[in-house]
Structure 1
């Protein structure tokens, strides 16, 4: 009888532990391929909440912070035409995962 109670307790404990550590269904990633977007500093130009100046893109009107590329990878972000002072256009490829854009490629487009 003791063994049966122990086995039952252990099974309930194992099921409960697994339920707490199994990740919830992650939001499906949205793949973006060679889409023209606005690119700039999320905090300075898109009024996003963050800790510091950070690169962001606007996809279909919604801003996303960028992972995989930094704000100074394209020049001085605080320069006259830098991302903190101006919104530029870029062609991007990557995916949106957990409300962030995971960049595979960012190609700045010439200004008109």
Structure 2
């Protein structure tokens, strides 16, 4: 009987933790501004994939052949950067809006596009 009570007491913190988790959906990206063009960019880790200087992994985009670090979103906001299809291992396509300010891309909209399916 003692072990049954001990098991019950030990399982209560786990039950409370599960109850505390939010079931709210993650907010989606804001809609693009219809008055500004949506650009197709290559997106990836600036240091690992796009040849930008630095120590660490930071999101960058390549527009018209030039790479820029991104402000307004982060590398971790779009999945695991170190996964096989993550920004540190692959360059992905993204729809973006924003402007280049002080040699950085200030994103007001950033939507990562789905990976193209492999054909056999």
TM normalised by structure 1 equals: 0.69
Q: Any unmatched runs of 5+ in structure 2?
A: 1-35
The number of aligned residues is 81
What is aligned with 1:47? 51
1:67 and 2:71 are equivalent in the alignment: yes
The answer for unaligned runs of 5 or more in structure 1 is 1-31
Q: How does 1:1-112 map to 2 (within 5 A)?
A: 33-112=37-116
Compare CA radii of gyration and give the structure with the larger one: 1
Flag the 1:33–1:50 CA change in 2: closer, same or farther, 3 A. farther
2 CA distance for matches of 1:92 and 1:34? 6
Bigger share in strand = 1
Q: Deviations over 1:11-41 (max 9, x none)?
A: xxxxxxxxxxxxxxxxxxxxx7310010000
- CA distance, structure 2, for counterparts of residue 83 and residue 77 of structure 1: 5
Instruction: Quote the offset at 1:110 in angstroms.
Output: 1.7
Higher relative contact order (CA 8 A, sep 6+): 1
**How far apart are residue 66 of structure 1 and its match?**
0.3
Runs of 4+ in structure 1 off by over 3 angstroms are none
RMSD (Å) for aligned C-alpha atoms? 1.1
